[in-house]
Structure 1
Amino acid sequence: MTEYDAILLAGFGGPEGQDDVIPFLRNVTRGRGIPENRLEAVAVHYRHFGGVSPINDQNRVLQIALQAELDARGIALPVIWGNRNWAPYLKDTISEAHDAGQDRLLAIATSAYSSYSGCRQYREDFAAALTDTNLEGVVHIDKVRQFFDHPGFVAPFVTGVQQGLADVAAQLPGIDLATEVEVLFSTHSIPMTDANKSGPPERGFGEGGAYAAQHMAVAQTVMKGHTTPWQLVYQSRSGPPTMPWLEPDINDAIALLPARGIRAVVIVPLGFVSDHMEVMWDLDNEAMESSEKHGIFAVRVPTPGVSHEFVSGLIDLVEERLNDTPNEERKSVTDLGPWYDVCRPGCCENVRFGFKPAVAGMVP
């Protein structure tokens, strides 16, 4: 059994006012040489919503929900919260935890899948925070496994797709769900170089790496029992045109559907734990506009948010680590998992930056 002093909810962070938008985007893109005019273009998305990203409020609610579930199970651990790119910053949260005598932390990152930005970068930021606070060797941070195929994460999407198809049938009487509707599972696109490096090299996932394979496996699980066609699509690409990213883009995919006789789509934000800015802008705004443009009826499935299944599932992951639960007793709904507690050597390399110091995993 492993003892911890606190649960660290690790978030991406987001601006909470118009004056925060550009400084926040500079934090996100630091070291990548992104020009200011590109930041201004992305800032439009945030300014459309008053300069406020929903993500911080979502994490505040998630923090409360996680604490309530821990209390209900009799687990006497506080939930603390820190972000990678905006206040409360990880280094401040970790420093305050140390001052409170909380030196053994178990982190839950708000990202379900394996990739550089979804896992390893969190681990690098933990290491950087410990260095910045002179707490290396004093504060120890572990991390729960990637939870892409834990039933607590998957169940809300199963329910959402069932409801989405029912909504389509109600709004378009007589529509054939097997030939005239398509389910679009959408996730954040990433550079092909990063995708191909996602997951342990020895697993040999091939094109798209573990990142694409995990999404495909979850989508297949969600669609069990349905005859409606589906595909995995991507969104939120931000790199230069010369750099290959995962495709197809959701808007390009929608444009091709009418030629196949598709009259409606159910959009599933499979790569997101809550209604991030990418969900609100890229799906609720751009994808809906694309659907309308091409004469397609569209509904969007909810993210897990703070649903009981999701919150309970995250605390299941905590209990796995507290109790050293054997692998065969851990919950998983695909053949890919359950994933690793400790990231394997060479996992999720960023080929542009190379390996940086990271905690909660094997070296490098």
Structure 2
Amino acid sequence: MALYDYDALLVLSFGGPEGEDEVIPFLENVTRGRGIPRERLAEVGEHYFHFGGVSPINDQNRTIIANVEKELARRGHDLPVYFGNRNWHPFAEDAAAKIVADGHHRVLVFATSAWGGYSACRQYDEDIQRLRENAPELEFTKLWQFFGHPEFIKLHADELREAWEKEGGEGTRVLFSAHSVPTAADNASGGPEDAQLYSRQVAEAARLVADEAGVSDYEVVWQSRSGNPATPWLEPDVVDRAVELGDAGASHIICVPIGFITDHMEVIWDLDTELREAVEERGMTLNRLATVGLTDEFAGLVVDLAENVAQGAEPASLSTVTAQGCTVNGAPCSPECCTASRPAHANAS
């Protein structure tokens, strides 16, 4: 049987290159309309060329999809899963065309972000609105933000607890890292009545994970900022803060990549490369914990969200901070929500 009245699920993501010849065209898509010179894109592209021009994001999303398909089948749901990206193959427009050709109409959308904010939420609404222009016969319902979902918290807490029991104590510092955004964008996230929703959601998820793991001393830090250096972004930067902690006597960093569900470029470059190099240059050690999106339990979380929407129920959450979602056809949660102009960054996925 289908999932109640829904007959397809679209996994909607950012996209990433899968070869050296794809890097610059991909970055041109990411930065379209922002006037970023090709020379700057080539500089950013060095992150990808370091890994043969391949971002892990597409393969990891395919793993998520395979796990979700397995979990849907286990629960008796005959719900086909499609994969579409904003910036690179497979494009979301092609996925929507395939959904139409396969005869489906009511589509659930899992956006690969746990958070609110322009880049993390509203831009996916804009993607859905664009899909509707080409496929008006489809109805898209986006699933809820899941930063406070008990399974999301437990998966991170289990990783952190195990690391802390082995490595915690004097000299060890715990840093929860998420993607930085301009402070203006963060101020606009959630709208005037719920401002700074993005940073508050990240702080809340970190608190919930630390509490469940039994870790009382931790910090929230930010990473992957780009664009005009004069534009204020969320701080402190993860590398800068790790260096400061090392100068103050820390010998070991446990980094929880709370902002990311998979190991894409901002994880394998900004954390596994730049952060690790900075830490090791100072004689410190680093344990970057795993992202949680490739686990069977995470696939269960996705199917839980789908069932919640199909049943008209809000998902389970350990948080009282706003979790938005269940919007139809790309309608924003409110007209004022997350309206800040998007940052001109190119180092994604």
TM-score, with structure 2 as normaliser = 0.92
Amino acid of the residue matched to residue 296 of structure 1?
Answer: M
Instruction: Tell me how far 1:115 sits from its aligned partner.
Output: 1.2
Instruction: Spell out, residue by residue over 1:11-32, the C-alpha distance to the aligned partner (whole angstroms, 9 max, x if none).
Output: 1111010000000001111111
Q: Determine helix, strand or coil for the equivalent of 2:277.
A: helix
Relative to 1, partners in 2 of residues 1:51 and 1:107: Cα closer, same or farther, differing over 3 Å? Answer: same
Q: Which residue of structure 2 aligns with residue 35 of structure 1?
A: 37
Instruction: Tell me how far 1:338 sits from its aligned partner.
Output: 4.6
Instruction: Spell out, residue by residue over 1:234-257, the C-alpha distance to the aligned partner (whole angstroms, 9 max, x if none).
Output: 111111111111111111101111
Matches within 5 A, 1:96-115: 96-115=98-117
Aligned equivalent of 1:7, options 3, 6, 9: 9
Q: Which residue of structure 2 aligns with residue 347 of structure 1?
A: 337
Displaced runs of 4 or more, over 6 A: none
Instruction: Spell out, residue by residue over 1:292-331, the C-alpha distance to the aligned partner (whole angstroms, 9 max, x if none).
Output: 1222221010001221221111110000011112x4xx31
Matches within 5 A, 1:1-364: 3-131=5-133, 133=134, 135-136=135-136, 138-168=137-167, 177=169, 179-203=170-194, 205=195, 209-224=196-211, 226-325=214-313, 327=314, 330-342=315-327, 343-351=333-341
Instruction: Tell me how far 1:153 sits from its aligned partner.
Output: 1.9
| Cα distance in 2 for residues equivalent to 1:26 and 1:338 | 32
CA contact (8 A) 1:149 1:337 kept: no
Q: Which residue of structure 2 aligns with residue 356 of structure 1?
A: none
CA contact (8 A) 1:8 1:80 kept: yes
Instruction: Spell out, residue by residue over 1:65-123, the C-alpha distance to the aligned partner (whole angstroms, 9 max, x if none).
Output: 11111111111211111111111101111011111111211100011111111111111
| Cα distance in 2 for residues equivalent to 1:32 and 1:152 | 38
| Cα distance in 1 for residues equivalent to 2:198 and 2:172 | 26
Q: Which residue of structure 1 aligns with residue 346 of structure 2?
A: none
| Cα distance in 2 for residues equivalent to 1:227 and 1:105 | 40
Tell me the C-alpha RMSD between the 2 structures.
1.7
Instruction: Spell out, residue by residue over 1:148-207, the C-alpha distance to the aligned partner (whole angstroms, 9 max, x if none).
Output: 1112222221011112223425xxxxxxx2x4211111111111111111124322x3xx
Instruction: Tell me how far 1:230 sits from its aligned partner.
Output: 1.0
Instruction: Tell me how far 1:228 sits from its aligned partner.
Output: 4.8
Q: Determine helix, strand or coil for the equivalent of 1:68.
A: helix
| Cα distance in 2 for residues equivalent to 1:200 and 1:332 | 21
Q: Determine helix, strand or coil for the equivalent of 2:83.
A: strand
Q: Which moved more, 1:255-264 or 1:210-219?
A: 255-264
Q: How many residues align?
A: 335
Q: Determine helix, strand or coil for the equivalent of 2:181.
A: coil
CA contact (8 A) 2:180 2:234 kept: yes
Q: Determine helix, strand or coil for the equivalent of 1:107.
A: strand
Relative to 1, partners in 2 of residues 1:249 and 1:352: Cα closer, same or farther, differing over 3 Å? Answer: closer
CA contact (8 A) 2:118 2:342 kept: no
CA contact (8 A) 1:197 1:348 kept: yes
| Cα distance in 1 for residues equivalent to 2:342 and 2:286 | 38
CA contact (8 A) 2:142 2:325 kept: no
Relative to 1, partners in 2 of residues 1:228 and 1:182: Cα closer, same or farther, differing over 3 Å? Answer: farther
Amino acid of the residue matched to residue 290 of structure 1?
Answer: A
CA contact (8 A) 2:179 2:259 kept: yes
CA contact (8 A) 2:116 2:324 kept: no
Q: How many percent of aligned residue pairs carry the same amino acid?
A: 42
Q: Determine helix, strand or coil for the equivalent of 1:141.
A: strand
